[in-house]
Structure 1
Amino acid sequence: MKRLPIFFILCACSILTACSKNFLDRAPLDQYSDATYWTTESDAVKFASRIYEFLPSADFFVCYEGMSDNAFSKTASWGNTLRNAQLIGNSTFVATTDNLGDEWQYGQVRHCLEFLDHVDKVPDMNEGLKKRLKAEVKVMLAYRYFIMATLFRDVPLVMKVFATPAASDVPQDKKAVVISQVIKWLDEAAPDLPPSYTGDDKGRFTQGAAWGLKARVLLYTGDYAGAAAEAKKVIDSKVYSLYANYYNLFQQEGDYSSESIISYIHVKELRANGLRDITGVNSVSGGTLYLNPLPSLVDDYESASGYYPYTKDPAYDVHAPWKNRDPRLNATIYYPGSMLANDKMYDPINSTLDKIGGDKATYTGYAFKKMFDKTELEARDNGGNDWKILRYAEVLLTYAEAANEATGPSAEITNTLNEIRTRAGMPGVEATFALNGWSMNKETLRTFIRHERRIELAGEGHRYFDILRWRIGQQVLNGPIYTMDASAGLTDIPATGGKTNKYPKTKLEDRHFSTDKFYVWPIPQGILDQGRKLVQQPEWK
């Protein structure tokens, strides 16, 4: 059984949870009494610990894959978030689309600001603990505002707790102003956070978490020199390292590993994740498989020798296209002929339970393997593996991308990328460039880094944000998407006894990312209606 960190227990048992649909998602003013609550150090720890519930859980953030060219989510699916993933992925969402407001989270902002307002009232509190808790809360504020500004661009930068609903009706601030404050919070937090934790405090924000998150923020906003410098701090700290086994990193044995920097802690006994339903193969766990990898992702994996595209490899076999590929493909995707977690063969062409287009079966011919908890397979909704929000491999990729954009190729960049590729079992950067006849310059290395980022982080919710910041939506989210193409026949799928080993490439839907308006989300109409000083994005008027 996974150890339960005390802060997670406190979060789950907290009575401070509130829900409101008002403009800034205000918590009830009579929820607790300031006069009686802020009296002990334990009060402060409980209040601060609740912020870890605000991190994106696996069930929520995995849906971002369906908004990208990595995956397709079914329309008739669990929860509005996955339905909206399809609408965002095919660019048919509008301001009234349900649950766009899931990322407009001012209730979380209020909670953080209340802590900062009140923690100094606690008598006789240990000053070191107080500074650390303040720092943790600032990291959470930074994360929440970063996500909102990334998606909605200009959002209200609220810096105080409002006493009345009327006072909370405030206009947007420019994205640059919001990001400046995000950086300020992270700079303030880092010195007061420890390099690591032990015992029940494992899983809390560390100094490396503040640096790593800042590196991501700076990368997304185009400060490449700054992003490289922050990522280098994490690297040079020597606190983190790549976990030896890529597949097991995403299983329970990889939780609290040397690669984990920020994670949402999922515990079967307390807060399980639903990934075994969302990504689960029906014949294994009875999963509904709401999220399906797309061929555009599967086809982007190199051959095992490093040929890109993989079809250039002399060993390529059209009848066994998933053989001799980057080992991360087998660790990430179930494809025809894969061995499932229950030691059965995955057959989306003939299987009664898993056949393409069937009830609770794949739409594309593929399924995600990477985040599927392989333990206790009989249960559908009790995944116990943590959701990796920020891990060391991302920091390495951030350093490589930012340093290349800032100064161009260098030995340090290729060495950083080679750490990731060595762990994956792939040839190094220099050998791969030579094999494919590529010249080493900023542009070709940029393309390679972007490819490596897609492959290494596949299934983890990053791709949609990369599409937005690279502004490649018109290229990758526009036009038809298809099932796998097995029209040539597959040698790994038996064709005897009335079975077939063929499946034709079939259109699933059209995607419509045809204009720049889709690089920013509209303010949800329900929120706009409650805030008279809010103004809809000009692209969405």
Structure 2
Amino acid sequence: MERYDHTKPLTKLCLAAIAVMLAAACSRSSFLEGTNTTNLNEQTVFSDSTYAMSFLNNIYSDVGFSFSPTRFSDNGGLDAASSEADVPRVGVAATSVGFATGSVTPATVTDDAWKTCYKQIRAVNQYLKHAPTLPFDSYLQKRTAAEARFLRAWYYFILLKHYGGVPLAGDTIYTDKDDIAANRNSFEECVNYIVAECDAAAAVLPVRQQGIDYGRAGAGACLALKSRVLLYAASPLFNGANTFNTSLADPLRTVVGYRTADANRWKLAADAAKTVLSLGTYQLHTTASTVSGLTVPPFRTVFTLRVNNEYIFAKMQKDAKEFETCWMPPTRGGDGKGAFPYQELVDAFPMKNGKMINSPSSGYNPDRPYDNRDPRLEGTIMHDSSLIVLYTDGIQPIMGQALKLYVDAGADAVFKRTTTGYYVNKMLKPDIAGNCIHGTERCWPLIRFAEMLLNFAEAENEFNGPTQEVYTAITELRKRAGIEAGDDNLYGLAAGMSKDEMRTVIRNERRIELAFEEQWFWDVRRWLIAGSTENTQLHGMKVTRRANVPAVFETFDVRKRNFRNAMYLFPIPQAEVAKSSRLLQNPYWSSSGQ
């Protein structure tokens, strides 16, 4: 039996399989749009083991498109579309700019979520159609079919968080001669479908795949996706009546969320996360590493490792430096396509004692704002005087060079390239830069064990209040981060918090632990707080340095972001709505975006 390592670069056969995957898609007039053609036919592909495995591998190829920090080409990703970071180029038409300014419309919004997900869902259905007769042994037939079902659930969830309920195709493979049912299924039907697919795939797959199959979806990934889906389902935006949906009539009302609230949805979400935490396979990475003589703490180390026990599902990469290229400053080969962190995110990181910077007992010094902070700050954001790598020859790293971002300091400085006075440092390998010849084995963390701790803490707190298990989940993260335990061993947390107080802690912990991992954009929406976080003046840091005087740190206005109620969900692209009168547009959107 021929085996294929999907982590290797795509061969010409893979590229041919991509074409086959798209070949039988619907016509231009259909709402599940496909592409043309190939010299290979369906029978040839699925009767050859290499072609068939390549076909499945290419369904994996898009799993990280929504996560990508350059999803919107020259204008960042969902980080730039939210209050996490500023858009690199405001004058360029992009979805990130549209969300930042409030000007996004169904006619201008990206269609990548709709087209990519339905393209790959259709490919899964093609694969499953042939799965029982593929030229694999029985075990591999069943295992790869289960992987395909997980991937279908994955792409449906991307659709769900963008749009709410969407048309469920089931196992149907539409052609250009079919009358495609464009009616949107309810939010509840979509959640139930995704959860059922996750459960079915998990029952077949090993918890985590090993060896040549490492990186393929296992039962752990299925159960972790289930946890995420149920957390969203329990959240205020979707769980019953609210200020977003209260005026809506059926069928749109049930498309965007549950008709009635049910607190038990939080219990389902907590139980799902706890299942993953109890597998015994995954854990927080707690070991430091040494990179070019530099000791790298565990929180930073985990993002440099291709193989680790914290990643539950990842986009597998090889010899890459795409994050270094988009996020690093120009003196390190950065191309300026990545977003720039806002001061509000910097301020969200507590001190090393775990206290927020506005706490009287925190020890925060505004004249030295980066001293004694949560170590995750350095691992997430580059600021003036951050010590980072420098390459002068593209080959040999020079470690620990101070980054000069103060006014008039050169190409990297505030108002030169960065609009906020900061650059992203998350997931970057400490000895790699955009202008060096080396790459790294780093993969994209699509689901981490850390998220499961946060999912559990949030759901458990909402259902049962701040139990000891909730405290334990948060202190585990803070301990790994390098927060000091304190005399009470609470890592800066207050004893005896109320549910509301713990909710504030958990939401902030998600903000900093999962920064730049495609979480904040969706979190503020499902929490129904985007009207505050995304409709406000956001800031940067200007540093002024002069000889023989202390540096001066001043916050400044960067961008007044604008948010409308419609923006809680993406609009369905106008070109798709135009294909069928049965495909309902999301609430409060029109072709003009009003």
Equivalent-residue separation in structure 2 for 1:478 and 1:460 (angstroms): 22
Given the two structures, how large is their TM-score scaled by the length of structure 2? Answer: 0.81
Paired residues for 1:426-441 under 5 Å: 426-427=483-484, 431=488, 439-441=496-498
Equivalent-residue separation in structure 2 for 1:414 and 1:198 (angstroms): 33
2:560 to 486, 510, 517: 510
Aligned to 1:218: 230
Displacement after TM superposition at 1:136 (Å): 0.6
Report the count of equivalent residues.
Answer: 519
Equivalent-residue separation in structure 2 for 1:165 and 1:333 (angstroms): 52
SS in 2 for 1:304: coil
SS in 1 for 2:558: strand
Aligned to 1:448: 505
Aligned to 1:318: 366
Displacement after TM superposition at 1:26 (Å): 2.1
Displacement after TM superposition at 1:30 (Å): 6.1
**Identical residues among aligned pairs (%):** 25
Point out the more displaced range, 8-17 or 108-117. 8-17
Equivalent-residue separation in structure 2 for 1:374 and 1:289 (angstroms): 20
Aligned to 1:130: 141
Q: Give CA deviations for 1:50-107 in whole Å, capped at 9, x if unaligned.
A: 22102115445671111222111122589x7xx3223213322111114244444211
SS in 2 for 1:168: coil
Displacement after TM superposition at 1:212 (Å): 0.6
SS in 1 for 2:536: strand
Displacement after TM superposition at 1:196 (Å): 2.2
Equivalent-residue separation in structure 1 for 2:221 and 2:458 (angstroms): 19
Larger proportion of helix: 1
Displacement after TM superposition at 1:336 (Å): 1.3
Q: 1:379 to 1:288 in 2, by over 3 A?
A: farther
Aligned to 2:462: 405
- Counterpart code for 1:55: V
Aligned to 1:262: 313
1:63 to 77, 81, 97: 77
Q: Is the 8 A contact 2:88 2:339 kept in 1?
A: yes
Q: 1:505 to 1:434 in 2, by over 3 A?
A: closer
SS in 2 for 1:478: coil
Point out the more displaced range, 110-119 or 50-59. 50-59
Q: Is the 8 A contact 2:353 2:485 kept in 1?
A: no
1:209 to 200, 218, 221: 221
Q: Give CA deviations for 1:114-153 in whole Å, capped at 9, x if unaligned.
A: 0111222335x32211111111111111111111111111
RMSD, matched Cα:
2.8
Equivalent-residue separation in structure 2 for 1:411 and 1:376 (angstroms): 41
Paired residues for 1:43-442 under 5 Å: 43-57=51-65, 58-60=68-70, 63-75=77-89, 83-104=94-115, 105-122=117-134, 125-159=136-170, 160-164=172-176, 166-168=178-180, 170-222=182-234, 223-244=265-286, 245-251=298-304, 254-268=305-319, 272=320, 274-288=322-336, 290-310=338-358, 312-313=360-361, 315-342=363-390, 343-349=400-406, 350-358=408-416, 361-377=417-433, 378-379=435-436, 384-427=441-484, 431=488, 439-442=496-499
Aligned to 2:533: 476
Equivalent-residue separation in structure 2 for 1:417 and 1:436 (angstroms): 9
Q: Give CA deviations for 1:411-449 in whole Å, capped at 9, x if unaligned.
A: 122112221111011145995879676742211111111
Q: 1:239 to 1:415 in 2, by over 3 A?
A: same
Q: 1:72 to 1:64 in 2, by over 3 A?
A: same
- Counterpart code for 1:484: M
Q: 1:351 to 1:36 in 2, by over 3 A?
A: same
Paired residues for 1:11-30 under 5 Å: 11=10, 13=12, 14=14, 15-18=16-19, 23-28=31-36
Q: Is the 8 A contact 1:479 1:512 kept in 2?
A: yes
Point out the more displaced range, 456-465 or 85-94. 85-94
Given the two structures, how large is their TM-score scaled by the length of structure 1? Answer: 0.89
Aligned to 1:7: 6
1:463 to 510, 520, 526: 520
Q: Give CA deviations for 1:437-494 in whole Å, capped at 9, x if unaligned.
A: 67422111111111111111112111111011001011111122222255xx6xxxx5
Q: Give CA deviations for 1:376-406 in whole Å, capped at 9, x if unaligned.
A: 4324995652110001111111111111112
Displacement after TM superposition at 1:23 (Å): 2.5
Point out the more displaced range, 361-370 or 14-23. 14-23
